[in-house]
Amino acid sequence: MARNGSGTYNRAVAPYVAGTTITAATVNQEMDDLAAALTQSMSRDGQAPATANIPMGGFRLTGLGNAISNTDAAPLGQVLAKAGDTATGALGVIAGTAAAPGVFVSGDTNTGLFQPAADTLAVTVGGAEVARFGANGLQSASPWLDLASAATTDLGAQTTDNLRITGTTTITSFGTAPNGVTRNLRFADALTLTHNGTSLILPGAANIITAAGDTGTAKSLGAGNWVLTDFQRASALPALRGSIAGSGLTMTSQRILGRLSGGTGPITEIVMGNGSANFTFGTSLGGEILASGQTEMDYFLIPEGVRQVVVMFNGLSTNGTSPIIVQIGSNIGLVTSGYFSGLSRMESSSINTTTVSSGIAGINIAAASDAVYGSIILNAADVLQAEWMAQGAGYYRTNGGWSTGGFGLSGNPLARVRVTTVGGTNTFDAGEIALSWRF
């Protein structure tokens, strides 16, 4: 028996005694046992490999050469043996993918680093790429992904910064995200963004109805609060609001009337955005046809320096009898109270009068079937264009006319005008509004 299974070698025969005869069988038995024991041992020159795992019993293999292939034992200098050790050579890993990164977090194999292309490094979280770094530093690897609109359209739950919002569902919340998270938005359809002074702050502090191709940037304030820091129409028109349902708001072409140089030359039509224009008359936004279900019309981006605004009604009617009013405001916000305004509705046998404090009164409609024609003229009463006097008159039915006058403060230079009704609950169902101004 060469070894006893625990590595101990025991002689196969008893020790030899001097003066006794040694038999061939005894010698052969011991020589065979020695041959078997040597066969079980590994030669120093590597003639044969090990045939089983070799436990080291707490001892080290010393004097190792550097590993060359993946099956070689490596000396400590080629590996990180424990926490706190520092590699003294390059550490290479596979490129990996977003779903299976080459470097991942223990226990979370789809979160880590991978290489999507040469000279590029990407970060993946939950199997989705969230950032990419190239020769010029951080790149936006966020692809444009579709996100269906919902009352709570959860921007913070998305793994990309670029989102195309689809559908027509009214949005009242963008969900919850850490303070500072930014999302770039594109809208595929017409939907309403509902303004909230705390949780969904919109430009102009008013609801916005989107159109296909409109864009914006939403920034999280934390705790479920968001601010839309900018909003751009695909058509480059101001952010006007229309009806949610039906065909919504139809615009005629924008045009600017003025002169390209000072003087008394003829007034001509100028392409919007011509920086060389010296406007001596004003700007007309044309007609806006109102659709059923619309409760107000906002005109934004009225230029600074305007000293007169004319609001014109052409067959305008609502589904109720609440007075149609005009409200004014600045870039800071819309003024909805503090007006001094009175109006008279005159018929062949009666005069009806009322006062309004929520806007410049236009007409106290007698019946939902009435259609209003006429205009209200607003004139700046101070050099800052913050105080405005109003007067207006018109017709609303056979033998029926109306007149109005009033005063309002825009707070800062006037920049916006709204046409709505007292209380803002009646909806327009026919007609159109046009707006013009003078400098």
- The structural domains of the chain, ordered by start, are 1-40 (no CATH), 98-141 (no CATH), 144-232 (2.60.120), 250-438 (2.60.120)
Percent of the chain past pLDDT 90, that is, above it, reads: 22
By three-state DSSP, how is residue 428 classified?
strand
Specify which residues 279 forms β-bridges with. none
Mean pLDDT (the chain) is 80
**Using alpha carbons only, how large is the chain's radius of gyration in Å?**
42
What are 177-224's pLDDT values in tens digits?
A: 888 889 999 999 999 999 999 999 998 788 888 989 999 999 999 999
What are 234-248's pLDDT values in tens digits?
A: 865 444 433 333 333
The torsion of the CA quartet 214, 220, 226, 229, rounded to 10 degrees, works out to: -50
Question: CA 316 → CA 134, 313, 375, distances in Å?
Answer: 59, 6, 11
Category of 281 on φ-ψ map: left (φ > 0), alpha (ψ -120 to 50) or beta? alpha
Q: Is 92 exposed, middle or buried (0-12, 13-18, 19+ CB in 10 A)?
A: exposed
By three-state DSSP, how is residue 416 classified?
strand
Confidence of residue 281 (pLDDT cuts 50, 70, 90): very low
pTM: 0.40
Q: Buried (b) or exposed (e) across 174-187, using 16+ Cβ within 10 A?
A: bebbeeebebbbbb
Q: Which of 153-167, 227-241, 301-315, 380-394 has the lowest mean pLDDT?
A: 227-241
What are 411-438's pLDDT values in tens digits?
A: 778 888 889 999 888 888 888 888 888 7
pLDDT at 107 over 60: yes
Q: CA 391, 392, 398: angle at the middle one, nearest 5?
A: 155
Query: What is the pairing mode between strands 137-139 and 108-114?
Result: unpaired
Query: Which of 210, 238, 236 has the alpha carbon at shortest distance from 153?
Result: 210
From CA 417, how far away is CA 362, in angstroms rounded? Answer: 14
Question: CA 354 → CA 114, 328, 339, 393, 426, distances in Å?
Answer: 72, 20, 13, 15, 18
